[in-house]
Amino acid sequence: MKTEQTAVEQMSESARYERGLARLAEVDGHVGEEVVAPLGDLGKYIVEFAFGDIYSREGLNLREREIATVGMLTVLGGREPQLKVHIRAALNVGLTYEEVEEIIIQTVPYAGFPTAINAINILRQLKKEDGAG
């Protein structure tokens, strides 16, 4: 049964969303909003939870969060569209192409060569698009 939200719950949800949008813009620039906007409620949940709650926590800066995210998405495999977004985000928050490549290489002993090859191919594609390689 769906219950009506109180005004406080609505304000809290709105604050999470606004905080999430601001953090998403810091991480991904305009690309992040383009990714989540067409997802409707799912996009709203991504903004509120992933960026409004998790990415807004203290303890790690955005650079460190993207190091972890690129590593995890590489290891998981099968998430190449999201990996591409987060490699771009990693570059946006200050990592270099060389550092991202090292993160990908670091995953090889744990996840194997196939996932690392896929990730390196994405990195090379982005590098080419950026005219950096």
Give the mean pLDDT of the chain: 92
- What is the C-alpha separation between 30 and 124, in angstroms, rounded? 22
Residue 11's pLDDT is 60
Q: In the predicted model, is pLDDT for residue 2 greater than 70?
A: no
Rounded distance, CA 84 to CA 6, Å?
Answer: 39
- The full set of domains in the chain, from first to last, is 1-57 (no CATH), 61-133 (1.20.1290.10)
78 contact partners, CB below 8 Å, separation of at least 6: none
Query: How does pLDDT run across 75-108, given as a tens digit for each residue?
Result: 999 999 999 999 999 999 999 999 999 999 999 9
Residue 36 has pLDDT above 60, yes or no: yes
- Read off the pTM: 0.87
Band the pLDDT of 30: cuts 50, 70, 90.
Answer: confident
Confidence band of 7 (pLDDT split at 50, 70, 90): low
Number of Cβ within a 10 Å radius of residue 123: 25
- Per-position DSSP letters for 29-63, written without gaps between them: THHHHHHHGGGTHHHHHIIIIIIIIITT-SSS-HH
